[in-house]
Chains A and B, each alone.
Chain A
């Protein structure tokens, strides 16, 4: 066990993967001598040489397309998109080829490749540096979409992603890069993809979250506990594959559910989760499944992002609406009246 930041854990995962698997490669913009703008690839070129970790020309479709060709040729590329919104030029490559090549060729060609994307906000970044783009990828069949919330998950989920036979969109919540936690670098742990984690147990309601919203959910649960409400916190860890079993088991136990996502709400991952919970837990539910999210606006300028991002108060307001006192939830009715 070692205490390290998520950035250090990701760096360690890349380092260990490069050391253990000669097919693994790291490339992208500024990932070489600079070590990436977030220093996730720090020191890799120096340790493994420019053949294993190299800077590419500045063209994201090219980075992803090159990785497709190299994966077809037997390598395991791990590429970095510098920021969430800078991955959009690569979207055609991702949606039309990365996601579909295995299916197109009936499994004769697989693409064991990882696309790392620092995503979401909360760091005072200017426009194009703070998008929550996970829904685009989660909506695309053939992609696994992974997002860690702790350094330990960051290490192991990235190791699993690099070892996976399928392409993985690895979404790194950039505001958690400098959060610290205990990390088990040595022994491979059992939990792989498609296994959500119950980070805190509770009997009164379930908070379902992922990535950057996990600390918010945990803080909300801590605050609610002061008021005698025991909230359970489920961290999805992988959006695709989705762990219905853990989510359903928790909500059937608590009977109440709030889904938290930092992304804009409409047609987002939270909507999918709420629908799945409602379909599977209807007879266990004592209140409607509520969503807490960012607003349906382009990501705000840094001086206003605090108004947009779901915080502990927004989560607790939703928890208050879970009809613990038998009063109906009139939140949306009030909106209609005005």
Chain B
């Protein structure tokens, strides 16, 4: 690790005083701040199709939970602009370090939906191949994945690859010590990592005001020497533009970047949570009017990029996808109890072999 003697000035690190925005809540374009170009039309249309599909998938997963097909599901409804832009900003050879709320992002990354839902179905702790997909397991302990992301970024840099790592985290997670250690390590190592904070205003039941007194969570990067930005998280155009710039910054040797996206968790924390105990219905209704999908659709229509046929086609594809997810999730997976012993170590210890034999005898006894 090399020691750099030059320090960045605060001015070069500070986020915009208000969240970067390209599209107002009613779908009309507004003047964005300098330095962030409007993404290409085709990227925006691709984002739109993925948002439609992501929202349908999310609704399907919630329905599967009610039918008992998933043990638990943390919905990201209302956060689709973040979920989709987060993966659209990356290349295939970049890495993603997601939390448990990133199912839509992972589906959008191209991971098989059943493999994405394996954790939440209870079939295994991670259903997909992290190496093949370059997506770390969805992380349940808060903020612990952010420091892994720094380690991976450092590994890529040392191997001479220009890959970037994106660490997803929520507003509550920014209170965890590991988040701060990760920011500090990333800055000191000058690692190519983007910290993407989806501030959805609640950590289960605890509102942001009780979570942090920072002017914005984006300012948490400044003290560590990390360039930071805040963005309207329900404005896909803005999130995609800012994340693309952040990824480019990291890829071209600029070091880590922190992006806070202001969004809102429309559903409860998970199906097991009751959001009416800690927030007013009126608050949720107000956020309905800031819906990221409706906003993008209006914006694209206004610009003449989207016609009713394209809208219908996107919804049709989403319905077909949901039907496939429903069918595949309704089939019971094959479970192998002996696999419990297979992956604890590269080679099972003598003790694990004994315990495997014990389970075998128990299962044989049950069959008799």
Q: Is the CB of A109 within 8 A of B130?
A: yes
Shortest distance between the CB of B119 and any CB in chain A (Å): 9
Segment with Cβ contacts to B, from A99-107, A146-154, A198-206: A99-107
Check if A177 is an interface residue, CB within 8 A of chain B.
no
Instruction: Give the complex CA separation of A301 and B238 in angstroms.
Output: 59
Residues of A within 8 A of B129 (CB): 105, 108
Given known A-B contacts A57-B184, A65-B181, A107 and B155 have beta carbons under 8 A apart: no
Given known A-B contacts A57-B188, A70-B152, A65 and B343 have beta carbons under 8 A apart: no
**Which one, B125, B146, B147, B152, contacts A73 given CB within 8 A?**
B152
Q: Is the CB of A65 within 8 A of B344?
A: no
Instruction: Give the complex CA separation of A29 and B343 in angstroms.
Output: 32
Shortest distance between the CB of B223 and any CB in chain A (Å): 13
The contact string, 1 if C-beta is below 8 Å from chain A, for chain B 1-39, is: 111000000000000000000000000000000000000
Check if A244 is an interface residue, CB within 8 A of chain B.
yes
Instruction: Give the complex CA separation of A240 and B130 in angstroms.
Output: 28
Check if A135 is an interface residue, CB within 8 A of chain B.
no
Residues of B within 8 A of A104 (CB): 124-126, 137
Shortest distance between the CB of A93 and any CB in chain B (Å): 6
Q: Is the CB of A103 within 8 A of B144?
A: no
Given known A-B contacts A51-B1, A103-B343, A144-B345, A93 and B144 have beta carbons under 8 A apart: yes
**Which one, B152, B344, B351, contacts A69 given CB within 8 A?**
B152
**Which one, A61, A93, A142, contacts B345 given CB within 8 A?**
A142
The contact string, 1 if C-beta is below 8 Å from chain A, for chain B 145-180, is: 011111111111011000000000000000001100
Given known A-B contacts A62-B147, A73-B152, A107 and B185 have beta carbons under 8 A apart: no
The contact string, 1 if C-beta is below 8 Å from chain B, for chain A 88-121, is: 0100110011001111111111100000000000
Q: Is the CB of A75 within 8 A of B346?
A: no
**Which one, B147, B148, B156, B346, contacts A102 given CB within 8 A?**
B346
Given known A-B contacts A54-B1, A59-B184, A108-B129, A72 and B136 have beta carbons under 8 A apart: yes
Q: Is the CB of A50 within 8 A of B1?
A: yes
Q: Is the CB of A66 within 8 A of B130?
A: no
The contact string, 1 if C-beta is below 8 Å from chain B, for chain A 7-31, is: 0000000000000000000010000
**Which one, B124, B130, B182, B351, contacts A241 given CB within 8 A?**
B351
Residues of A within 8 A of B184 (CB): 57, 59, 62
Shortest distance between the CB of A166 and any CB in chain B (Å): 5
Check if B41 is an interface residue, CB within 8 A of chain A.
no
Instruction: Give the complex CA separation of A241 and B129 in angstroms.
Output: 28
Q: Is the CB of B149 within 8 A of A69?
A: yes
Shortest distance between the CB of B220 and any CB in chain A (Å): 16
Q: Is the CB of B2 within 8 A of A97?
A: no
**Which one, B2, B144, B152, contacts A92 given CB within 8 A?**
B144
Check if B141 is an interface residue, CB within 8 A of chain A.
yes
Q: Which residue of B lies closest to A68 (CB)?
A: B148
Q: Which residue of B lies closest to A167 (CB)?
A: B345
Q: Is the CB of B351 within 8 A of A56?
A: no
**Which one, B1, B132, B158, B349, contacts A240 given CB within 8 A?**
B349
Check if A74 is an interface residue, CB within 8 A of chain B.
yes
Interface size on A, residues (CB 8 A): 47
Q: Is the CB of B151 within 8 A of A67?
A: yes
Shortest distance between the CB of B356 and any CB in chain A (Å): 13
Check if B365 is an interface residue, CB within 8 A of chain A.
no
Given known A-B contacts A61-B177, A70-B154, A241 and B346 have beta carbons under 8 A apart: no
Instruction: Give the complex CA separation of A102 and B345 in angstroms.
Output: 7
The contact string, 1 if C-beta is below 8 Å from chain B, for chain A 133-169, is: 0000000011010000000000000000000011000
Q: Is the CB of B141 within 8 A of A69?
A: no
Q: Is the CB of B158 within 8 A of A65?
A: no
Given known A-B contacts A54-B1, A75-B155, A104-B126, A66 and B346 have beta carbons under 8 A apart: no
Residues of B within 8 A of A72 (CB): 130, 136, 148, 151-152, 155
Instruction: Give the complex CA separation of A132 and B182 in angstroms.
Output: 29
Instruction: Give the complex CA separation of A316 and B129 in angstroms.
Output: 55
Check if B131 is an interface residue, CB within 8 A of chain A.
yes
Shortest distance between the CB of B137 and any CB in chain A (Å): 5
Which chain B residues (292-348) contact chain A, with CB distance < 8 Å? 339, 342-346
Given known A-B contacts A51-B1, A61-B177, A104-B137, A69 and B345 have beta carbons under 8 A apart: no
Q: What is A's interface to B at a CB cutoff of 8 Å?
A: 27, 50-51, 54, 56-57, 59, 61-62, 65-75, 89, 92-93, 96-97, 100-110, 141-142, 144, 165-166, 194, 240-242, 244-245
7 pairs of A and B residues whose beta carbons are closest in the complex: A69-B151, A73-B155, A65-B147, A62-B181, A69-B148, A165-B346, A104-B125
Q: List 29 A-B contacts (CB under 8 A).
A: A50-B1, A50-B3, A51-B2, A51-B158, A56-B188, A57-B184, A61-B177, A62-B184, A65-B150, A67-B151, A68-B148, A69-B151, A70-B152, A70-B154, A73-B156, A74-B159, A92-B178, A93-B144, A96-B141, A97-B144, A97-B148, A102-B344, A104-B137, A108-B131, A141-B344, A144-B345, A166-B346, A241-B351, A245-B350
